[in-house]
Amino acid sequence: MDAHLRELLDLVIRWVHVIAGIMWIGNSLLFNWLDRNLVKLAERDARHEGEIWLLHSGGFYQVEKKQLPPGQMPAVLHWFKWQNFTTWASGISLLIVVYYLGGGALLADPSVTQLHPHAQIGIGVGSIVGAWAVYDGLFRSPIAKVEWLASAIGLGLLFGLAYGLTHVMSGRAAFLHVGVIMGTLMTGNVWMVIVPSQRELVAATVEGREQDKRIGMRAKARSIHNNYFTFPLLFIMVSNHFPSTFGARLPWAVLAVILVVGAGVRHFMNIRFTFPGWRLPTAALMVLGFAAVFWLTRRPSQATPSGPPVSGAEARVIVETRCVACHSQHPTDDVWKAPPSGVVLDTLSQMKLLAPRIRERAVVTKTMPLGNKTHMTDDERDKLARWIAAGAPIELAPAHAPSARASSSVNTPSWRALPITTPAMAGVAASARTWSRTPTPPLASTGNGDASPSARVASTLGPAFVPSRAMSV
């Protein structure tokens, strides 16, 4: 797929996904709040379950929940289902456009596995489909009668999925697949359990039959499941902006903590109307969760990098070779046709400005290059660390000129990094030789019309002193 088209699809689908998700999750939270705040009036009949008065947008709203008598179907009935479908469909579309049609760029991580992207896609799709089959079977089985046991088994299986996926694809892709799995479970609940139950209630009312409350209770149970999924799912939706989570030493453990804390906080918010002391355990759970995530994502303190100083020229060659294919005003990467996150590293000045970010992503978390697509070595990461530790100098350091380059295509030290000396010339007196600054010569070519990395580095560093002779004979 054309890279520009893929980027626009990513933008439009993501926009739809966020809007639909707000509507769907907002509805879920609202109706769960309503159920816990309904006031049952003694003077009403047995079909009455409660009512509530609301104030919003300049008016009063009276909301009543009840079972309808047989044959008394209202002329207009509003259903809440398409927000869910739109959220799920746009999420699946994003997974395909961003992860499956991007050449596997976001799926792969050579430090985790050498699986082919096609195999990773197969595992991802199989996990999504299989998760619904296992989950639905579990909560239709006799085990579901013991609610805490079924919930514990389901949570354990979700932990297992998180562990397995983080060992067969990149942490970022694994997080997203767990999110899609949870979204699929929620969507399955809506379309395979809740909506059919609602259709049966409507059919019974239209046909003049008594409504079976067990059908409504079954639908309500799955709705509660969806309610507990919301907070962890929202975390996963934003986690790709925070590489310290999916790039942690144990990313599956980070995800497990978030699942427990998110569902736990949702639980205390659900019972707060019948449990006055809910605030303290909620705060304690959040503090413990934060501490656990901090510990899991914290990198060991790194000593000041040791070794010879690294010049701006040498740091520039590493970034030019390993990073600029994507992080440039004009990327040459086969997937990224615009600099990711707007990060551009075309010049030493830009590198210096973004040095803390380079250190965090390339040295500390090692989440860049993405999936280590350009094969940055540990030695190169160490050199970047030493360059940044020294203050990210952008001037040349002639005494410590690089003796090797980051790739085989750059295998000789640049003449611009060498100290200027006066060569001995037979028959010419030293006083007759002078030196002057001349303009930068044309860039060296790689043979395909592009300037070589060393030549582009040279052009970035500006004009240098080159010899010219004015001889008197």
- Final residue before a domain boundary, out of 270, 297, 324: 297
Spatial distance between the Cα atoms of 313 and 395, rounded to a whole number of angstroms: 8
Give dist(CA 271, CA 450) in Å, integer: 65
For residues 336 and 260, membership in a common domain is answered with no
| 376 within domain boundaries | yes
CA distance 45 to 333: 69
Residue 281 and residue 139 share a domain? yes
Residue at a domain's end among 297, 322, 343: 297
Q: Is 132 domain-assigned?
A: yes
Could you tell me if 122 and 250 lie in one domain? yes
pTM attached to this predicted model: 0.72
- 246 and 192 belong to one structural domain: yes
Q: For the segment 176-222, what is each residue's pLDDT rounded down to a tens digit?
A: 999 999 999 999 999 999 999 999 989 988 988 887 888 888 888 99
Q: What is the pLDDT of residue 301?
A: 64
Q: Please tell me whether residues 192 and 273 are part of one structural domain.
A: yes
Distance CA 331, CA 159 (A): 38
Give the per-residue pLDDT at 17: 95
pLDDT number for residue 299? 76
Residues 172 and 270 in one domain: yes
For residue 47, the model assigns a pLDDT of 86
Q: Is residue 98 part of a domain?
A: no
Residue 11 lies in a domain: no
Q: Is 135 within the bounds of a domain?
A: yes
Q: Could you tell me if 288 and 369 lie in one domain? A: no
Question: Domain limits at 141?
Answer: 104-297
Same domain? For 373 and 263 the reply is no
Are 253 and 296 contacting, i.e. CB atoms less than 8 angstroms apart? yes
- Give the angle subtended at the CA of 356 by the CAs of 232 and 372, to the nearest 5°: 65
Question: Is 137 among the domain residues?
Answer: yes
Is-contact 406 380, C-beta < 8 A? yes
Q: What per-residue confidence (pLDDT) applies to 107?
A: 84
Element (H, E) at 52: strand 48-56
- Per-residue pLDDT at 396: 52
pLDDT less than 70: residues of the chain: 1, 103, 300-303, 396-473
Q: Could you say which DSSP state residue 404 is in? A: S
Answer yes or no: is 173 within a domain: yes
> Does residue 377 fall inside a structural domain?
yes
Which pLDDT does position 473 carry in this prediction?
32
Whether residues 318 and 291 share a domain: the answer is no
Question: What pLDDT score was predicted for residue 334?
Answer: 75
Domain ends where: 262, 297, 332?
297
List all residues 6 or more positions away from 245 whose beta carbon is below 8 Å from its beta carbon: 171, 175, 239, 251, 254, 255, 293, 297
In this prediction, residue 183 carries a pLDDT of 95
| Judgement on whether residues 363 and 388 belong to the same structural domain of the protein | yes
pLDDT of residue 373: 81
Are both 279 and 329 inside the same structural domain? Answer: no
Number of domains composing the chain: 2
Q: Are 96 and 117 in contact (CB under 8 A)?
A: no
Beta-carbon contacts of 148 under 8 Å, excluding residues fewer than 6 positions away, are: none
142 and 281 co-located in one domain:
yes
Q: Do 252 and 166 meet the contact criterion of CB atoms below 8 Å apart?
A: yes
Q: What is the pLDDT of residues 416-454, one digit of tens each?
A: 444 555 455 454 454 444 444 444 444 444 444 455 554
pLDDT value, residue 86: 96
